[in-house]
């Protein structure tokens, strides 16, 4: 049976259920569908590999997923400027998904709250900051947003643990996947994973400041920018970096995927870049609606809204 016929039959079935049994039937359907989706994803070899990579990286990094060689710059502009270091925790969304965090909270190895007055029950939620894309965000990029990537080059600017690169390798046929990363420890970590999982045929790591890699920006077909500068560069450097992005990512039809939207990143630092003559936003709202149902049991947990997509004019 094809999709359209299946949905028609499902509608017919729904309308034939006794009114008093509808809720019971829908709750049963929800459980059954979640179980089938879990089984589908467990049988997927790409998911098995990426989960094994996540587990390996969790073992080799401290809980907050940061290295001793990197330098975090607390934002001075925009909504993250009020992040109080005492009540902000860095939790890498690629390494620790909501279920893993729940398990850790239950074991007592992580907390979601801090105590306002010690021993009192007055608690406030900690602010969670991630410096990596989550697995659903990565799968959304390569399973929904980007079509055939054969003979195409994907560039992840600031590739960190390599999360996006492994996703591009496993969930797409991109012929070349390049990560540029400033931090030497993360470059070493990514190279270890690439070697361990035999991915060097399509993934390459460049240890560099992206400012020195204009040619990669000029020639790539897809450029991914996941909040790459905000926590790592001061506002002046960010201005120069965004200027370099808009000067160099100019090949017609290049796809740019960003978290958050470029408009938001630029407004935080008041960058005078004319977006109208550079890029066109692509409406991905319908794809988000479909993907949320696939990747999240509770749609409230979705982090796909942060993703934006553009095409170079």
- Give the binding site for ligand SAM (CB under 6 A): 70, 94, 131-133, 156, 158-160, 163-164, 180-183, 186, 209-211, 226-229, 232-233, 241
* Whether 190 contacts 205, CB under 8 Å: yes
Closer to ligand SAM by CB, 8 or 208: give it.
208
* Whether 162 contacts 188, CB under 8 Å: no
The Cα–Cα gap between 138 and 132 comes to 10
Strand partners, 178: 155, 204
Closer to ligand SAM by CB, 223 or 241: give it.
241
Residue 231 makes CB contacts below 8 A (sequence gap 6+) with 72, 73, 74, 75, 80, 129, 131
Closer to ligand SAM by CB, 254 or 258: give it.
258
Closest CB 122 distance from ligand SAM, rounded Å = 33
Residues in the chain: 313
Closer to ligand SAM by CB, 77 or 111: give it.
77
Q: Which residue is nearest to ligand SAM (CB)?
A: 158
Closest CB 178 distance from ligand SAM, rounded Å = 12
Closer to ligand SAM by CB, 17 or 72: give it.
72
Closer to ligand SAM by CB, 132 or 246: give it.
132
Closest CB 284 distance from ligand SAM, rounded Å = 17
Closest CB 241 distance from ligand SAM, rounded Å = 6
Closer to ligand SAM by CB, 241 or 292: give it.
241
Closer to ligand SAM by CB, 37 or 46: give it.
46
The Cα–Cα gap between 22 and 27 comes to 9
Burial of residue 161 (CB within 10 Å: 0-12, 13-18, 19+) is buried
Closer to ligand SAM by CB, 111 or 127: give it.
127
Closest CB 116 distance from ligand SAM, rounded Å = 30
Q: How many CB atoms lie within 10 A of CB 85?
A: 9
Closest CB 144 distance from ligand SAM, rounded Å = 16
Closest CB 34 distance from ligand SAM, rounded Å = 27
Closest CB 82 distance from ligand SAM, rounded Å = 19
The Cα–Cα gap between 77 and 114 comes to 25
Residue 7 makes CB contacts below 8 A (sequence gap 6+) with none
The Cα–Cα gap between 194 and 53 comes to 10
Closest CB 17 distance from ligand SAM, rounded Å = 44
Helix (H) or strand (E) holding 135: helix 135-140
Helix orientation angle between 163-171 and 45-60, rounded to the nearest 10 degrees: 160
How are beta strands 279-281 and 308-312 bridged, if at all?
A: antiparallel
Residue 35 makes CB contacts below 8 A (sequence gap 6+) with none
Residue 283 makes CB contacts below 8 A (sequence gap 6+) with none
């Amino acid at each position: 049976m094809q999709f359209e016929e299946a949905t028609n039959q499902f509608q017919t079935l729904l309308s034939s259920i006794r009114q008093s049994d509808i809720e019971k039937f829908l709750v049963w359907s929800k459980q059954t569908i979640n179980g089938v989706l879990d089984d589908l994803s467990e049988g997927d070899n790409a998911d098995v590999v990426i989960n094994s990579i996540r587990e390996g990286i969790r073992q080799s990094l401290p809980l907050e997923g940061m290295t001793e060689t990197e330098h975090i710059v607390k934002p001075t502009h925009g909504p993250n400027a009020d992040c109080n270091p005492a009540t902000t925790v860095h939790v890498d969304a690629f390494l620790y998904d909501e279920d893993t965090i729940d398990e850790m909270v239950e074991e007592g190895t992580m907390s979601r709250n801090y105590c306002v007055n010690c021993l009192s029950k007055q608690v406030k939620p900690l602010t969670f900051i991630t410096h990596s894309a989550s697995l659903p965000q990565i799968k959304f990029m390569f399973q929904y947003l980007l079509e055939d990537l054969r003979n195409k080059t994907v560039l992840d600017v600031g590739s960190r643990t390599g999360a996006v690169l492994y996703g591009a390798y496993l969930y797409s046929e991109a012929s070349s996947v390049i990560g540029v990363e400033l931090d030497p420890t993360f470059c070493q970590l990514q190279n270890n994973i690439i070697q361990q999982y035999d991915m060097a045929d399509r993934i390459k790591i460049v240890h560099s400041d992206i400012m020195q890699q204009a040619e990669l920006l000029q020639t790539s077909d897809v450029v991914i920018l996941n909040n790459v500068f905000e926590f790592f560069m001061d506002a002046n450097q960010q201005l120069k970096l965004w200027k370099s992005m808009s000067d160099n990512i100019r090949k017609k039809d290049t796809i740019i995927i960003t978290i958050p939207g470029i408009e938001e990143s630029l407004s935080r630092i008041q960058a005078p870049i004319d977006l109208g003559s550079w890029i066109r936003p692509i409406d991905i709202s319908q794809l988000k609606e479909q993907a949320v149902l696939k990747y999240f049991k509770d749609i409230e947990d979705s982090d796909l809204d942060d993703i934006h997509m553009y095409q170079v004019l």
